Amino acid sequence: MRERSSRVNPVNPSEEVFTQLHIGLDDVDATVGGCTTHATYLLLKELLSKFRTDFQLIDYPNLVRLNPAVPYKTRGNGAVVIRSVVRKDIINEVIRETTEFVSKYVNSLGFRPGTEPGIAAVIGVVPESLRKLYLKALTDYVPRNYLMSLIKETTKNTEVILPYGLSRGVTGALAGIGWPEGVDCTYELLAYRKELSSCRPRCVDPESIKEMDQLFREETFLNYDYLSRRELITPHGPDPVLLGIRGEDPATLINAYSTLRVCEEVSGYAIFRTNQGTDAHHVLRDAGRIRPYQTGCIKASVASKPKNLMGGTSVIELGSGGRLYAAFFKEAGLSKVVNSLLPGDLVMVCGTCHLWEGLGRVIHAEKLVIESLINYKLMNPRCPKCGARMKSAGRGKGWKCPKCGYRAKDLEKEKVPIKRSVDVGTYLPPESSFKHLMKPLRRYGKEKKCSYVRPAEGWIK
Ligand code: ATP
């Protein structure tokens, strides 16, 4: 038996004996099965029962979503972080247990082309440099040399351990650790299947999902899409997640879960604190500067009439001092609104930037905010003599009336009021096509400033 000190108050552990330990995990999955949150769920059960009061969580495990435009992601580009205070003399043991556990987990998944699991451990308080990495990994592509110089800077004052070396997963693992306090957050209760890697559809009574949504609609989101009549809490792939209920606080999630009628065997659940549903990646960017792989919002005026491409995609050009377009795919269901825009309307488009052959930079839109609409169109002036609409008499030569021949040099174009078929406001896609970070309408006004929170009773089963 290992010795445990009875001198240490587990609620307020002394700094000489205890220290913070933040462990980030990423890429612990495969397209054929597994999931980083599931590995974390199993690992935490092991660590908590083995180390007891020597290893205490200072926060719910974090599920930190990063840039949805990075090419390597398997599904939702999510990293997981375990934040704890541990006895200093067991740090190495905790990290060894973690590493052995992750190795066993990924080996059990078999062939995993294109994945490179990452583990990062930070001892002590999270340094500012990792906050910077989080923001970069959330909103941009992190090149290897950037990561390397950031690690060099971080390790000047902070102990960082990378048990697998500088694998690709380290980017997400370290960036996840850098997710700061003081920003908006939500929670997700993730329940896991007993039968792992099963391709059989999840068995949760759809009626009970709708009932749960009605009962908890103020504090939960993305449960059910009433438009397409689709359940949103159950994924469809071969991963071990049975369902995920997203919401504002852990207690509500446990209550909501207890109302569901689940008709397959469940191995258990855990609650994660996350940046999902917060629009955290929608940083304001300059239209002339946004680059491919970056996320963000551009405020600009519509530069020309919207165009419709094959497949139902609508494209608008944004006035930006450089060619920049925004594409709204059919699934976003925003074509009608987008096609009603006119040159001169002021919009904000949020999404991820991609490079299209022939067009250049294109924002794949996740959200459209119409800030102002022009309410007139400019028309040639009317003839002061006969009232007919005048024509240009040639460059710099003023106007000429086609009816009576009257000529004038100093007439201004006329502002003719127009009726618009669209209103200013925020336009979002249907919930069935939401990506993890996108903030649903239901969350507007519910933003909060979050800190680390010691998990409450019943957070893991
Ligand atoms: P799951 O959701 O099941 O965990 P995933 O979609 O999150 O799967 P990952 O397995 O996490 O996909 O793979 C994403 C990979 O991309 C990781 O190796 C991560 O370190 C890396 N990565 C994440 N964000 C960035 C970024 N902004 N720039 C470069 N690499 C990144």
Q: Which of ligand 1's atoms lies nearest the C-alpha of 168?
A: 18
Q: Which of 36, 41, 64, 70 to mutate to test the pocket of ligand 1 (most atoms within 8 A of CB)?
A: 70
Rounded alpha-carbon distances, angstroms, from residue 316 to 142, 320, 329, 421: 29, 12, 12, 17
- The answer to whether residues 126 and 270 belong to one domain is no
Predicted confidence band of residue 166 (pLDDT cuts 50, 70, 90): very high
Q: H/E element holding 118? A: strand 118-123
pLDDT in tens, 313-345: 999 999 876 789 999 999 999 999 999 999 999
Question: Is the CB of 37 within 6 Å of ligand 1?
Answer: no
Question: Is the CB of 74 within 6 Å of ligand 1?
Answer: yes
Question: Is the CB of 67 within 6 Å of ligand 1?
Answer: yes
- The answer to whether residues 120 and 267 belong to one domain is no
Q: Comparing C-alpha atoms, which of 85, 97, 149, 67 is closest to residue 122?
A: 85
| Per-residue burial over 396-421, b = 16 or more CB atoms within 10 Å of its CB, e = otherwise | eeebbbeeeeeeeeeeeeeeeeeeee
Please report whether residue 118 resides in a domain.
Answer: yes
What is d(CA 67, CA 69) in angstroms, rounded to the nearest whole number?
5
Domains identified in the chain, total number:
4
Q: For all residues of the chain together, what is the average pLDDT?
A: 92
- The answer to whether residues 117 and 202 belong to one domain is no
What CATH number corresponds to the domain at position 338?
Answer: 2.40.50.1010
pLDDT in tens, 202-234: 999 999 999 999 999 999 999 999 989 999 999
What is d(CA 445, CA 308) in angstroms, rounded to the nearest whole number?
34
Per-residue DSSP letter, 34: -
Please report whether residue 440 resides in a domain.
Answer: no
Question: Is the CB of 146 within 6 Å of ligand 1?
Answer: no
- The answer to whether residues 266 and 241 belong to one domain is yes
- The answer to whether residues 45 and 192 belong to one domain is no
pLDDT in tens, 386-434: 999 999 999 889 999 999 999 999 899 999 999 999 999 999 999 999 9
- The answer to whether residues 335 and 396 belong to one domain is no
Helix, strand, coil percent values for the chain (each to nearest 5): 25, 30, 50
- The answer to whether residues 53 and 93 belong to one domain is yes
pLDDT number for residue 267: 96
Q: H/E element holding 153? A: helix 144-154
- The answer to whether residues 262 and 123 belong to one domain is no
pLDDT in tens, 17-51: 999 999 999 998 766 678 899 999 999 999 999 99
- The answer to whether residues 42 and 132 belong to one domain is yes
Q: Which of ligand 1's atoms lies nearest the C-alpha of 80?
A: 4
- The answer to whether residues 67 and 205 belong to one domain is no
What CATH number corresponds to the domain at position 220?
Answer: 3.90.600.20
Question: Is the CB of 118 within 6 Å of ligand 1?
Answer: yes
- The answer to whether residues 167 and 205 belong to one domain is no
Residue 6 pLDDT more than 60? no
Host domain of residue 190: 186-279
- The answer to whether residues 166 and 210 belong to one domain is no
Please report whether residue 457 resides in a domain.
Answer: no
Domain boundary among 279, 311, 336: 279
Please report whether residue 422 resides in a domain.
Answer: no
What is d(CA 442, CA 221) in angstroms, rounded to the nearest whole number?
7
Helix (H, G, I), strand (E, B) or coil at 174: helix
